[in-house]
Amino acid sequence: MVDYLWNTQSPLQKALVAGRHGVAGAQAGVTLVEVRDLVLVQVMARRGKAADTAKAAKKLFGVDAPNTPKAVAGKSATLVWSGPDQFTVLAPRTDESSQIDAMSQAFSGAASLSDQSDGRCLIRVSGPRGRDAIAKFSSLDLHDAAFPVGTAANTSVDHTAVNCWREANGADGHPVYSMLVFTSFADSLWHAIVDSSLEYGVDTSRTRAA
């Protein structure tokens, strides 16, 4: 029998060339990071079980699950709204099966879960010109007043579904946006972001979820 070796690899294996791209200068206008090693679970309340689902989420994560387009930081995970009565749970991968088991038990009977861990790619955009770069390909209104820290949105970029939310501002005081995209479209979104960022200078890298 042939032995198969299952190696997870980044959907940006080829596209992401770590380093500085575009305009050179002391400081890059945009910082682009692929965040790896995530556990990602989609939670969808069952018919008539929205309240039970909310209760289970509160118990497991210690916060109210978002019921409007928001991202909420909870115990050991971030909960990102992804539609009416559904949200996505994001956690750094530690022991995947026990992480998922814990969720299965907590939401048993209330919500349906779907493991998306290697089905999506998380890209983080920051830096002083990050927002300007995104504005070139996204139709979201990212003004501070319309899209403050903690805001989330399901949107589409070039016909591709993207979940976008705003993290706490970076150490440089500039906004930080996270974008979750299907792995099979990650390459194309990555290129769109890099292209849009070249004129500002862009630093690209890969990191582990923390």
Residues making contact with other proteins (CB under 8 A): 44-51, 53, 68-69, 82-86, 139, 141, 153-156, 159, 161
Cα(157)–Cα(116) distance, rounded to whole angstroms?
A: 20
Least spacing, CB of residue 40 vs other proteins, in Å = 17
List the structure tokens of 12: 């940006």
In terms of Cα–Cα distance, which of 133, 75, 136 is closest to 103?
75
Q: Which is nearer to other proteins, 82 or 197 (CB)?
A: 82
Least spacing, CB of residue 103 vs other proteins, in Å = 17
Q: Which is nearer to other proteins, 87 or 200 (CB)?
A: 87
Least spacing, CB of residue 24 vs other proteins, in Å = 28
Cα(124)–Cα(134) distance, rounded to whole angstroms?
A: 11
List the structure tokens of 37: 């090693």
Q: Which is nearer to other proteins, 133 or 157 (CB)?
A: 157
Q: Which long-range contacts (CB under 8 A, 24 or more apart) does 56-64 make?
A: 56/106, 56/107, 56/110, 56/111, 57/87, 57/106, 57/107, 59/106, 60/102, 60/103, 60/106, 60/107, 61/89
Q: Are 204 and 19 in contact (CB under 8 A)?
A: yes
Least spacing, CB of residue 62 vs other proteins, in Å = 23
Q: Which is nearer to other proteins, 165 or 200 (CB)?
A: 165
Q: Which is nearer to other proteins, 14 or 20 (CB)?
A: 14
Owner of token pair 């080829």: 14
Q: How many CB atoms lie within 10 A of CB 169?
A: 12
Q: Which is nearer to other proteins, 13 or 156 (CB)?
A: 156
Least spacing, CB of residue 185 vs other proteins, in Å = 13
Interstrand relation of 86-92 and 77-83 (parallel, antiparallel or unpaired): antiparallel
Least spacing, CB of residue 42 vs other proteins, in Å = 12
